Amino acid sequence: MTFDLQCTDSKTNARAGIITTAHGQIETPIFMPVGTVGTVKAVHLTELSEDIKAQIILGNTYHLYLRPGLEVLEKAGGLHKFNGFSRPILTDSGGFQVFSLSGIRKLREEGVEFRSHIDGSKHLFTPERVIDIERTIGADIMMAFDECTPGKASFEYAKQSMELTHRWLDRCIDRFKQTVPKYGYAQSLFPIVQGCIYPDLRKRAAEYVASKDAEGNAIGGLAVGEPTEKMYEMIELVNAILPKDRPRYLMGVGTPVNILEGIERGVDMFDCVMPTRNGRNGMLFTQNGIMNMRNKKWEYDFSPIEPDGASYVDSIYSKAYLRHLFHAQELLALQIASVHNLAFYLWLVKEARKHIFAGDFATWKADMVKRLLTRL
């Protein structure tokens, strides 16, 4: 994998670049649709590739390990062959799922023992096991196994958690070096910076991760309950330390405004379930603000979802029709809303990239933030 840093904004830390992987190039800043179990929920592959124009998607190690399972994925030739997505794929490590399964898991030095949320069966994730699983999934970019620290954790807990993540990282790197890709193309391993909301810990974690000289680096453990301003503070601190010539990935963030704030602070890659999850619940993100498609105000509004929209759905379907579909509980409502929101997120990062090159990112971003926060 290579990263070509093409442009840095003169007034902020916003950057534009190109990541090159075995499955193609990714123009940054980029948003990655979340394909948890090998599919982006309610979105057809053709829409994902041609209408949304996703350059990279994310798969989830924990969920793919449970379903369809490693035997199926290996026999298929990896996730690319299994789901038909020919462009780059990134897999997370399962660390966040371990965090969210706190009631049914046991954390220790060796790894994490947990029970499946599907059938209650017992499993063990170690750093070595996770690397082996990600090799079998076959993602272009693999995440190191970490513990995602709760946003309101005490300093002492966050310190112990960060140190455990660092020991696990060393084991992940060793296992990565001991193994080879299974499907004939290169894979990259990204470490994850933890440390909760404590500047001293984030600084130590960023320095430790930077010392590993990985092909890219990630920032984890944010947007998990901490104040938004603390999240932005931690991003600034970490990005001042992480190498500038490697891509920076902010995991699981977030709203359109969060993404613009992250870009301004030097983040290159984002993912979040928000566009599809909120879309399935009737919330649409647009260039002029947020729409709740269940509201009565759209009942007789036969105008396009977004006149200058970012995907084909905006010109085909009206607000009134989409509202009708939600109230009639038609599955098409979920599909239209998901495609629209993902296309909007991809439009947003593409526009950010354009304004970074144009030299007016700060002015454009300030105007966009005001518009994005509007409730229509």
Catalytic residues: 92, 271
Q: What values do phi and psi take at 233, rounded to 5?
A: -60, -45
Looking at this protein, which amino acid is placed at residue 84? G
Q: Which residue is associated with the tokens 């990134």?
A: 90
Residues 6+ apart with CB under 8 A from 300: 320
Residues 6+ apart with CB under 8 A from 216: 1, 3, 19, 141, 188, 190, 246, 247, 248, 249, 269
What would the DSSP string read from start to end of 150-178? -TT--HHHHHHHHHHHHHHHHHHHHHHHH
DSSP state of 291: E
What would the DSSP string read from start to end of 231-266? HHHHHHHHHTTS-TTS-EEETT---HHHHHHHHHTT
Rounded to an integer, what distance in angstroms lies between the CA atom of residue 269 and that of residue 239?
A: 13
What are the angstrom distances between the C-alpha of 243 and each of 8, 152, 167, 210? 14, 28, 21, 7
Q: Which of 220, 218, 208 is nearest to 246 (CA)?
A: 218
Rounded to an integer, what distance in angstroms lies between the CA atom of residue 309 and that of residue 183?
A: 39
Largest CA distance in the chain: 62
Contact 113, 121 (CB under 8 A): no
